[in-house]
Structure formats: C-alpha cells, structure tokens
Amino acid sequence: MSEPASSNRWIPFQCPTCFGLFRIKKSQVGQTGRCPVCNAAVQSSESENLGVLNQAASSTFDSNNLLARVGEAQEMTSEQLRKVESGLRGRRRQYVGEEAGGMAWEREEASNNVSWKVVVSMVLSAFVLLALSLVYYKNSGANSSAGSTKPQINREQADSWFDDIEKADRNTKKIEEGEMAAKDVDDFKKFDNAKIEEAVRNFVTASSPDELKKYIRNSERVGPLLDLYYEKADYEVEGFDSLDLTQVKYSGDVVTVLVQKANFLTAPIALERVIDGEEESYQIDWESWVGYCDYTSDQMRAEKPDKPFLMRVIVKPANYYNYDFSDDEKWRSLGLELKDSIHSFLGYVERGSEQDVKFRAMMKGGLLVPCMVRVAYPTGSRSKDQVEILEILGEGWLQNLSKENEDD
C-alpha cells in the first residue's frame, strides 16, 4: 500500500548555526540529522511550523548517523520569523570543503619547498637582469661622457631578452608539471586498487573490535589503544558502499582515498602498502580514521590533566583570552576541533615561540590545518576547554611516516 499523501508533505526548518533554510518530509518527523548548509546537528520537530533549532551538538566531521545529535525545535511568532528572514539576506555562509578535515591528513612536504629547477631559473633570471643593468649603466656613462644620451641597447632588444627569460620559465614549469604527472602515473601503477578496495571493505564491515584488528597497521602498538578506545566508545559497523579513486593522495607506501559508507557519508581513509616476500597487502591506519587522542573530550573536561598528552585536531584561528590565558600579548589563541566530538577546545602558544612560528606558517592564508599536538592543562586550571600547546608532533593525523617517506 502506498504511503498517504499527507506523509509526503514538506516541512520547513531553519538551522540555528547558519540560519540556512531546508526541509524534510512529514514522514521523517522525529529523525535527527545534519544541516545541508553548515553540517550542524539538528533534530526535526513534530510541529509543521517554521522553527529555529537550538543546537545541542555540532561537529564539522562525519558521524555514523546521517542525522545525528539532538536539537529541539521552537515555534516562532510572526515577528520573530520576519526578523530571522530579514537577517538571512545579509548573512554570509561559510563552507569548509574536503581540504579542511579530509584529504589534508598528509600534506606533501614538497609543497613547502621550492624545487631546484625553479631556483636555477630564478638565479639565471637574476643574472640576466644584473647583466642588462650593468651593460645599460656602462653604456649610459660612456655616452654621457661623449655628449650623447642614446643608449646602446634599444627597447626591442631588451624586450627580446625578457621574452627569452619568460620562455625559459614557462619551459621549466612544463617540465615540472610533466614530472609530477609522471610520478602520479608511477604511484598509480604501484598500488593495487582491487586490493585497496578489499582491505577497506573488510575494515568498515568488521563485526567487532577484535575483527577490526586484523586489518590495521602497526597492530602491536595500536591494538591496545584500540581496545582502550572501545571500552569507552560503543562499536558500530560502518558499512561499505563504494570507494572514490578519483581523489587519491600518495605518500611513499601510504595512500589516502575516499570511502562512502553505508550511511552515504564520505570520509578519507589511509592505507599502508605492506610487502612480505612476494605478497602485497594493505593495512588501515585506524588512529587517523577515528582521530585517536589519549583522552576523550569528556575525560579532558572532567579530569583536566596537567601532564602532556596527545591530541589529533583540526586547528583554526581563534580570538579568545581568559583565565590562565588572559594576556593576549603573551599568548596566541587557536581553535582545536576533534573528530566526532560535540566539544571544541582552545589551544594557546606563546607568541614568538617555535610552536607559534610553525602554526603561522602552516595556517598562512587562514587555512584549517589537521595536525597532531601534545598539550596540557595549566595546574589547577579553572577552564574545562583551555590547554597549552607544548609541541607540534606533525602535520596531518598519520604517525610514524619515516618508512613511508623513504621512497619519496
């Protein structure tokens, strides 16, 4: 029997975070979900009236539920609705794409370095410009002493030389792009996509944490961490839908791809290529998959440990100073987001310190940066969410990459 037409009626809602408007079917009332504009967690109301949702939780990361973490809907008066709708027209939306929390786990070291060919091109250009200047001034001085102001190098000749320099730069760029394309082809041939898909499928469909251990990298070190993690967190089977091989990143023997889970949410997953004799296998980096930290966010807020501990975070600019970090001339404030957590934290580094310099370089242009940091609460801290960043352990969420980078 078909569903009554009334159950397919659309009900409007408004996100409390970005004030974006969206709708659901009446039959979906009572389900929880995420705003399609800003990804904030919301819950549908039993009222068909337009409402503003009080946010109970928001996360910029995927969760196992398509509609997750609770928000209550409140009815609005006509005057409130008029004010909200007028505010919508002037409100900017902000979207954080894959680079923010996804494929940016492993930032290529090469992106921070200038290739030798570019350096050689720049040096040659500088020498040519210096030679042009010396010749010009030499001839200009000789002509001046002879009572003549006409230069020995005419404009057409100078333009021709500059054209040659530009051509050399363009050729160098083409060579580098060609070499990068060739490396991508070599990397693509190096990895077995069929085995990658099989490993990912086995991992996300594992029925228990014990079965999960069969497919993880560094199992001797990571296995005990996995056990401890699932003592505090419920284990749920992710499920497998498909693998997106159009967006692939390579780092030595580590490859990162996008997997679409059974709930249709997409997440990056990193695998290590392992060679044992003639056998080739792929192992999942579980720590980056779950965003493993030494403490859960609830533990951090309750215990406020003052001994250094590990966090995997997305770092973003912030501007909040209070309690132990109220001196904005001494401290720099940074926002710290955790994977699948309703809590966010604030991290502080001393201005001018090594950590401060590194963060400013990594976040140039206002970028969100995934990284591993070692932090601690001040002794006797009054705040639940303010920590000092003692050390940057590395960009991205992958640990122990020395072996993978040997072939870079």
Q: What is the pLDDT of residues 117-131, one digit of tens each?
A: 666 677 677 777 777
Q: Which pLDDT value is given to residue 359?
A: 94
pLDDT(13) > 90: no
- In 3D, which of 286, 277, 105, 282 has the Cα closest to residue 191? 282
| Bridge partners of residue 21, in order along the sequence | 14
Average pLDDT over residues 47-52: 43
pLDDT(321) > 90: yes
Average pLDDT over residues 193-206: 96
pLDDT(197) > 80: yes
Q: Which pLDDT value is given to residue 251?
A: 86
Q: What is the pLDDT of residues 252-294, one digit of tens each?
A: 899 999 999 998 899 999 999 999 998 999 999 999 999 999 9
pLDDT(116) > 90: no
Q: Which of the four pLDDT bands, split at 50, 70 and 90, describes residue 44?
A: low
| Separation in Å, CA 265 to CA 33, 43, 154, 198, 277 | 12, 18, 64, 19, 37
Q: Which residues contact 105 (CB under 8 A, 6 or more apart)?
A: 256, 268, 270, 288, 370, 396, 397, 398
297-405 fold? OB fold (Dihydrolipoamide Acetyltransferase, E2P) (2.40.50)
The fraction of the chain above a pLDDT of 70, given in percent, is 59
Q: Which pLDDT value is given to residue 245?
A: 83
Q: Which pLDDT value is given to residue 61?
A: 38
Average pLDDT over residues 9-27: 72
Q: Which of the four pLDDT bands, split at 50, 70 and 90, describes residue 367?
A: confident
Residue 36 contacts residue 22 (beta carbons within 8 Å): yes
pLDDT(246) > 80: yes
Give the Cβ contact number of residue 205 at 10 Å. Answer: 14
| Paired tokens of 26 | 């009446």
Q: What is the pLDDT of residues 61-79, one digit of tens each?
A: 343 443 333 333 444 556 6
Q: Which of the four pLDDT bands, split at 50, 70 and 90, describes residue 110?
A: very low
pLDDT(304) > 80: yes
| Paired tokens of 79 | 């005057």
Return d(Cα 104, Cα 376) in angstroms, integer. 25
Q: Which pLDDT value is given to residue 349?
A: 98
Give the Cβ contact number of residue 35 at 10 Å. Answer: 23
- In 3D, which of 344, 343, 230 has the Cα closest to residue 289? 230
- In 3D, which of 266, 290, 240, 261 has the Cα closest to residue 398? 290
Q: Which pLDDT value is given to residue 79?
A: 64
Q: What is the mean pLDDT of the chain?
A: 76
Q: Which residues contact 195 (CB under 8 A, 6 or more apart)?
A: 280, 281, 282
Return d(Cα 194, Cα 223) in angstroms, integer. 26
Question: Whole-model pTM?
Answer: 0.57
pLDDT(171) > 70: no
| Bridge partners of residue 11, in order along the sequence | 24
Q: Which pLDDT value is given to residue 306?
A: 97
Q: Which pLDDT value is given to residue 59?
A: 38
Return d(Cα 293, Cα 173) in angstroms, integer. 41
Q: Which pLDDT value is given to residue 366?
A: 75
Q: Which pLDDT value is given to residue 140?
A: 56
Q: Which residues contact 61 (CB under 8 A, 6 or more apart)?
A: 101, 291, 337, 339, 340
Domain ranges of the chain: 5-95, 112-189, 193-289, 297-405
CA terminus-to-terminus distance, the chain: 60
Q: Which residues contact 296 (CB under 8 A, 6 or more apart)?
A: 232, 233, 341
Range ranked top by mean pLDDT from 16-25, 146-155, 244-253, 286-295? 286-295
Q: Which pLDDT value is given to residue 109?
A: 39
Q: Which residue has the higher pLDDT, 230 or 157?
A: 230
